[in-house]
């Protein structure tokens, strides 16, 4: 998201092209999803649009996060409506939780 938002500020044409590409590829892997809060409205709009268009086009998206899905809402700009919309698209079909046990 940082790279995408930097493109939006510096090169609107490349931003649009990159966002379109992210919406159309067969498999998108979002790693460290919501490791840091989405604090800018532009970030929220971009991730919502990407997830929404991917869902409409029935494209696969894998979201990896160190946070539990129930904790994601709190990372989205204190905007409950946007958080709900993103959560709905990010967790619509399957959620796989992997818990590693520490060796003692």
Distance CA 83, CA 44 (A): 8
Distance CA 47, CA 5 (A): 10
N- to C-terminal Cα distance for the chain? 37
User: Is residue 22 in a domain?
Assistant: yes
User: Is residue 74 in a domain?
Assistant: yes
Q: Residue 23 in contact with residue 57, Cβ under 8 Å?
A: yes
User: Is residue 66 in a domain?
Assistant: yes
| Domains of the chain: total | 1
User: Is residue 100 in a domain?
Assistant: no
pLDDT at 51: 92
DSSP one-letter code for 39: -
pLDDT at 52: 92
User: Is residue 47 in a domain?
Assistant: yes
Task: Check pLDDT > 70 for residue 103.
Answer: no
Name the residue range of residue 66's domain: 2-90
In the predicted model, what is the mean pLDDT of residues 35-61? 89
User: Is residue 104 in a domain?
Assistant: no
In the predicted model, what is the mean pLDDT of residues 81-95? 82
User: Is residue 63 in a domain?
Assistant: yes
């Amino acid at each position: 998201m940082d790279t995408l938002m930097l493109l939006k500020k510096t090169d609107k044409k490349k931003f649009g092209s990159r966002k379109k590409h992210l919406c159309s590829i067969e498999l998108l892997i979002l790693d460290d999803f919501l490791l840091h809060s989405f604090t800018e409205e532009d970030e929220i709009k971009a991730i919502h649009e990407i997830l929404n268009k991917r869902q409409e086009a029935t494209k696969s998206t894998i979201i990896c996060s160190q946070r539990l899905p129930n904790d994601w809402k709190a990372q989205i700009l204190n905007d409950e409506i946007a958080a709900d919309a993103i959560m709905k698209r990010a967790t619509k079909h399957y959620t796989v939780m992997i818990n590693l046990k520490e060796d003692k």
